[in-house]
Structure 1
Amino acid sequence: MNIYDIAQLAGVSIATVSRVVNDSPRVSEKTKNKVRAIMDENGYTPNVFARGLGLDSMKTIGIMCPDVSDAYMATAVAHLESRMHEHGYDCILCCTGYEQSVKEKYVSLLLAKRIDALIMVGSVYAGSGDSDSLIQYVRDAAKTVPVFLINGYLDNENVYCAYGDDYKATFDVTSQMIERGRKRILFLCDSHSYSATQKLEGYEAALKSHGLPVLGDLKLYVKNKIHSVRDILLERRDLNFDSVVATDDGLAVGAIKYANSKLLKIPEDLCITGFNNSALSICSDPELSSVDNKVEELCNLTISNMMKILHGNVEEVPRDSKIPCKLIKRCTTDF
């Protein structure tokens, strides 16, 4: 029995249950008595989430990410851990990979450690929109502790999402390429995650809004390995493209290496944009124009919201926080 169950039985929100536990004057005596009676009937003992910073807090936050060697995720995890230490919290990090069974296993492991909250870094935890069963374990975790999702969106009570507006960023970049005369824009992607799907939809919407067809042969899914991208593009002689929209900087750098191998001028012959504004964008030659999806801002927002919730101020925190991205223009674009 958890706070989510008590809220359902009482016909109130989990925020109301939290206020009852904290004896908030904002709840009527009638509702307090009703909720307390249900808690007594079911032998419910409030945990730290229900009581705010109660005595049984482990002062520990669980963090999950698929791959900490990924530049975006490494930056996010490092920033989250630093901010949590400022608030007196420790963290337990689990690198889950992408297998469904492993992700579910690590959620169970972290919950068994009596964590105060769970942070999931990466849109892979939001699913891909094709199967609700793949995200049921996240919904189940939210019945026990507040869950914070970075770089993805999942509509569920007690799940708080902070993510960049990937759709608009990709729509804007693609539109600017078209307005500079580009007609065949290659979309390079390495997954079907929530974030990748938003980028794809932005890309397709831009093509349609400018009267260009959406062509399947200009949507290429490849592993996010720089040399692999270069080699695949060199092998695909059937591909005809004058620009590249990549969903990650690694993919975009692979496209730069392809262009260098073909002696193409950048951006005159081939215009290229990446995503994440990582260190790769300034290590490449030429330096890469890349969308900054504000990872540190998302982490700061997540920690701020988490502290409010752990102090019992659930009603102050929105579950859907979307922030604008920004293209950092360097040498691979001419707009």
Structure 2
Amino acid sequence: MNIYDVSKKAGVSIATVSRVLNGNANVSDKTKNKVLVAMKELDYTPNIFARGLGLNTMKTIGIMCSDSSDTYLANAVYYLEQELRRHNYDSILCCTGQDSETKKKYLDLLISKRVDGIILAGSQFVLNQPGSDNRYILNAAKEVPIVLANGFLPGKNIYSVMCNDTAAVYDATSRLIAAGRRQIVYLYTSTSYSGMNKLKGYKNALSDAGIPLREEWTHLCTKNIQRAKDYLNTLYDKGISFDAVVTSDDSLAVGAVKYAYEHRIAIPEQLQIIGYNNSVLANCTEPELTSIDSKVEQLSVKAVNILMQVLSGHDVPAENIIAADIIKRNTTNF
């Protein structure tokens, strides 16, 4: 049994059940009694039932991320925890790695700890390949609200906060094209929802400019400086020329800078480079990286605020979009 069964049994909306569970004063006694009777008849005891009865709540949110050593995810976790503390909530952090079974195990663990909600930080939790199974998230959302920070999955009790990755990469690539660049390589790290949206932005920009896409210009590699450099060296050795590099992460852009330095290629005169996430790495290269700022702090704060609204019984849009900015530094001259 779950909150949807209670909603159907009581003849009220899911939002109304949530308001009753959270002790919202705007629910009439008659409606509250209908919900409580339905819960009793269904023998339903949700994780947040104690709060619904006005008793002590766990006041705890679960946070899951795939890799806490990743610069973007480390920042996201920091801002999530800061904002949760501002709302007087504690957090439990689980670093899952990439294995699907481990992700499911940790999600089940958080639910068993009676957390009030769960935030999935990063785009690695929703699988987008054909035949992928995201039921573990859909099932967990029957117990507690889930917020995807930089991910998307349609489903009840699931809320997404995303950077507009497609528009961001489209804009960056289009600026390079307007500056006369026609041979633009795109390096990316993931086939997640976010990763595919970024790739889409790159391809759309080339298509709209009438530039044929060459297979060698796009490459999926791990989030690794050396791997990015190695691939560009492979193109160099094959005699495949390029005059710009756009990446889905700053680490890959650093690899492009190192490649240019090794071959004495002038940046930005001969090669322009754009990273993504505007991380600390963007300030660590010489020249410093132009990078797309995906607003990790704003996204994280928004994710927490959405969860707080859901726990308070408010109606919240399932999809929430944040616009990115291009932070221009010295690896571009557009």
TM-score calculated relative to the size of structure 1? 0.92
1:130 deviation in Å? 3.0
Query: Relative to structure 1, is the Cα distance of residues 223 and 24 closer, same or farther in structure 2, using a 3 angstrom cutoff?
Result: same
1:99-135 per-position Cα deviation (integer Å, ceiling 9, x unaligned): 11111111011111111110110111122253451x2
Gaps of 5+ in 1: none
1:43-64 per-position Cα deviation (integer Å, ceiling 9, x unaligned): 1235427956942421211110
Query: Relative to structure 1, is the Cα distance of residues 156 and 42 closer, same or farther in structure 2, using a 3 angstrom cutoff?
Result: same
Contact 1:19 1:27 in 2 (8 A): no
Partners of 1:137 and 1:159 in 2: how far apart? 12
Contact 1:20 1:27 in 2 (8 A): no
1:196 partner letter: G
Contact 1:59 1:116 in 2 (8 A): yes
| 1:123 equivalent in structure 2 | 123
| 2:260 equivalent in structure 1 | 259
| 1:301 equivalent in structure 2 | 302
| 1:3 equivalent in structure 2 | 3
1:65 deviation in Å? 0.3
1:267 deviation in Å? 0.9
SS at match of 1:245: strand
SS at match of 2:124: helix
Query: Relative to structure 1, is the Cα distance of residues 54 and 265 closer, same or farther in structure 2, using a 3 angstrom cutoff?
Result: farther
2:59 partner letter: K
Percent identity, aligned pairs only, is 46
> Where in structure 2 are the equivalents of 1:301-320 lying within 5 Å?
301-310=302-311, 312-315=312-315, 317-320=316-319
1:89 and 2:89 aligned = yes
Contact 2:162 2:321 in 1 (8 A): yes
| 2:247 equivalent in structure 1 | 246
2:323 partner letter: P
> Where in structure 2 are the equivalents of 1:210-225 lying within 5 Å?
210-225=209-224
> Where in structure 2 are the equivalents of 1:1-335 lying within 5 Å?
1-10=1-10, 12-21=12-21, 22=23, 29=30, 35-48=35-48, 51=51, 54-128=54-128, 130-133=130-133, 135-236=134-235, 237-238=237-238, 239-310=240-311, 312-315=312-315, 317-335=316-334
1:142 deviation in Å? 0.6
2:290 partner letter: S
Query: Relative to structure 1, is the Cα distance of residues 46 and 231 closer, same or farther in structure 2, using a 3 angstrom cutoff?
Result: closer
Gaps of 5+ in 2: none
1:184-220 per-position Cα deviation (integer Å, ceiling 9, x unaligned): 1101011111111000011111111111112221111
SS at match of 1:274: strand
1:223-250 per-position Cα deviation (integer Å, ceiling 9, x unaligned): 2211222123213322321111100000
SS at match of 2:119: strand
1:275-298 per-position Cα deviation (integer Å, ceiling 9, x unaligned): 000000000111000000000001
C-alpha RMSD over aligned residues: 2.1
Query: Relative to structure 1, is the Cα distance of residues 49 and 323 closer, same or farther in structure 2, using a 3 angstrom cutoff?
Result: farther
1:257 partner letter: K
Partners of 2:24 and 2:202 in 1: how far apart? 50
